[in-house]
Chain A
């Protein structure tokens, strides 16, 4: 089993819709969680950190479920510009390594 798993997609979603995807992690000692966005052939960029109580940034909401060991990303009122691959990142506090998921591809259609 991979340490961090994501549905590769693609998720094909009409503009304006709400879409959500999850990321599961295997190490229960994981303490820090992040969502990155990566456009085709470009470098990843931090979208948002994921806090224990959940957090929101505009149209984006991130949630953490420690009991089931997954994090989620919800995008409301999706825009064409949201089309990208979303990478889940997990860090265990015992070291300085980040473990990356393979990403979920999102395609927003007009």
Chain B
């Protein structure tokens, strides 16, 4: 089954404790991205990657890191989480052969930073 998986689905942590949210896709997509979704603000892109070892900042990259060592995986790293990073996070992937319209999303990770 074609899918994007994220782990963990729910996470409560404390300020400053490094964490990683994993994202994996099995569709051989070149393009992967991370979003955060906050009430009233819609989806905002954090980072995206056009292919292995190619990453770029989105609209809200501060406080986040990513890596793309393999095509299928695109982990999101919060080196020192802060309460303003409490949000719902989505990973998405798509083929760049098209116009990036159909992004396939993971189920989301609900992060709370105390």
Give me the interface of A with B, judged by CB distance under 8 Å: 4, 8, 32, 34, 41-46, 49, 87, 89, 91, 96-98, 100-103
Contacts of A103 in B (CB 8 A): 42
Known: A4-B42, A96-B31, A100-B43. 9 other contacts (CB 8 A): A41-B88, A44-B90, A44-B105, A89-B101, A91-B100, A96-B48, A98-B103, A102-B40, A102-B41
| Residues from 73 to 114 in B contacting A, C-beta threshold 8 Å | 88, 90, 96, 99-103, 105-108
Give chain B's interface residue range (CB within 8 Å of chain A). 20 to 34
Q: How many whole Å from B7's CB to the nearest CB in chain A?
A: 14
Q: Which of A34, A41, A87, A91 sits near B43, CB closer than 8 Å?
A: A87
A43 touches B102 (CB 8 A): no
Residue of A with least CB distance to B49: A96
> Measuring CB to CB, which residues of chain B are less than 8 angstroms from any residue of chain A?
31, 35, 40-45, 48, 50, 58-59, 88, 90, 96, 99-103, 105-108
Of all A-B residue pairs in the complex, the 6 with the closest CB atoms, nearest first, are A43-B105, A102-B42, A100-B43, A100-B42, A46-B102, A32-B99
User: Are B101 and A34 touching (Cβ within 8 A)?
Assistant: yes
Write the nearest CB–CB distance from A62 to chain B, whole angstroms: 12
Of B40, B43, B96, the residue contacting A44 (CB under 8 A) is: B43
A42 touches B101 (CB 8 A): no
Measured CA separation A103–B99 after assembly (Å): 21
Most chain B CB inside 10 Å of its own CB: which residue of A4, A42, A43: A43
**Is the CB–CB distance between B31 and A43 below 8 Å?**
no
**B39 to chain A: closest residue by CB:** A102
